[in-house]
Each structure stands twice: as structure tokens, then as C-alpha cells.
Amino acid sequence: MRYETRGDAGWLTFDRPDSANALTPETLDEAVELLGRASDERIAVLAGEGEHFCAGGDLEAIASIDGIDEARDFADGVVGLLRAVETAPVPVISAVDGDAFGAGFELVVACDLAVASEDARFGTPETRMGVQPPLTVERVAETAGRKRVAEMAFTCEPIDAETAADWGVINRAVPADDVDDEVMDTVSSIARSDAEATRVTKERITARDDYDEISERMAERLTAPETRRRFRTAAEGINDG
């Protein structure tokens, strides 16, 4: 990952463009560490290098999981990052260009605000692979409604940026070339508010205490035989391609 300070924001960029910024265990740990560093700023921003924001968990890393302990480690990494985003003492904004699928979409949902390019796509392919989405179901249902999130999660069909904005999943969709400027305008606006009042307000908005339960459910699904088969097949398809 890359880290830089832009104005009042700590800017974290997933930097595996050849893998659509898929999340490995190392990336998850690094993101949590850098998010802690960004908490020294007024705002944190998550972005992706290249054509996509984040394709989700790295298929090869997931396919190589051996046993419940490794599954728990990976699940703890994913849920730990989502928890770090939701509990960070500063607002976290996602700057989304291209695809945000799986854990990438989870990150967008976990962020306090989201700005996306007009050609961005959002998807929850987890159920097709045998895993339940960690946070998406509850969080998207809060803004979009139960039937919308049910269709998205059950069919695994992605939605476009216009739909995501209409559902309240993102704040706005703008031309791709304008995403960074739009995010920085939002950063400047937030920075004019009182830091402590902003922190307390965020706590009231995002409060939850079931992260450990979410992680354990994810680990159990990652070790299910059919789930293992699906991830191995998907990883082999990438290598064959």
C-alpha cells in the first residue's frame, strides 16, 4: 500500500493494480496499520491504484487456507480492517474508481462517505463462493431496504454507480477524472467542523459490537468443503488465464 498526506487527509492507496487490488493477509494488516497513522489527520481516504478500487479477497490466498485456524486468521484480517474503518476516530472516505467487489465493496460500505466514478460497479459475490457478506447485508439494508440488498446478495449481480447513489450506498457519482477533486472538496468541508464533535458523531452513527461474531461466522464458511472447492476452482481459473 501507499500512504501520503494530502491537505487534511491521510490518503491510503491499495497498490496491487495487476491483481485489481485484491486483499492479501499482508495487505489487510498494512491497511489497518496505515489507517491508524491516518487517524492523526482530520480525515482518512481509501483509494485503489489502477483501473479498480478493490476486487475483494485474493482468491489464491483464500484457496490456500488450510484449516480453521488459518481461516480465522484471514477472517479476522478482513473484519479487523472493516472494524478499523468503522471505529477510526476520524471520518473515512472511499474514493472509488472501477470495481469494488466482495471485501472491496464491504470497505465502501464501512466507510463513512463514498465518492465513485460514474463507471464504478459494486458487487457481493460472496454467496456464490459460499461465504456470507460480513457487513454489507446489514449496512446496505439500513439505507437501501431489505429486498434490494437481498436481491444483490442472493443473485451476486453487481449494481452501477447511479444505482448505488440512489440506494444511499455512496454519496455521489462523478466523472472518473473528478473523483479525487470531489473527495478533496469533501475533506476541506469536513475539516472546517470541530474534530471532537465529528468524532463523537461518528461513534453514534457506526456503533456496533458484534465484530467477533461476524469474523467467526466467516471463518466457519471459509472452511466448508463446497466453499473450498469454489475458491480453488476460481483461483485455478486465474492461473490458467
Grid cell in block for residue 179: 473523483
SS3 173: strand
What average pLDDT score do residues 53-72 get?
A: 94
Phi-psi region of 130 (alpha: psi -120 to 50; beta: other; left: phi over 0): left
pTM of the model: 0.92
**For 131-151, what is each residue's pLDDT tens digit?**
988 888 888 888 899 999 999
Cell output for 146: 431489505
Q: Which residues contact 203 (CB under 8 A, 6 or more apart)?
A: none
Backbone angles phi, psi at 15, to 5 degrees: -125, 55
Does residue 126 have an active-site annotation? yes
In the chain, the amino acid numbered 112 is D
**Residue 235 binned pLDDT confidence (cut-offs 50, 70, 90):** confident
Q: Domain 2-177+196-240, what fold? A: 2-enoyl-CoA Hydratase; Chain A, domain 1 (3.90.226)
- Which position among 126, 196, 226, 236 bears the catalytic label? 126
Catalytic pick among 70, 106, 182, 196: 106
Assess whether 41 carries a catalytic annotation: no
Q: Which sequence spans correspond to the domains of the chain?
A: 2-177+196-240
Whether residue 84 contacts residue 72, with contact meaning beta carbons closer than 8 Å, is answered with: no
Find the range with the poorest average confidence among 9-13, 49-53, 166-170, 227-231.
Answer: 227-231
Q: 27-45, pLDDT tens digit by residue? A: 999 999 999 999 999 999 9
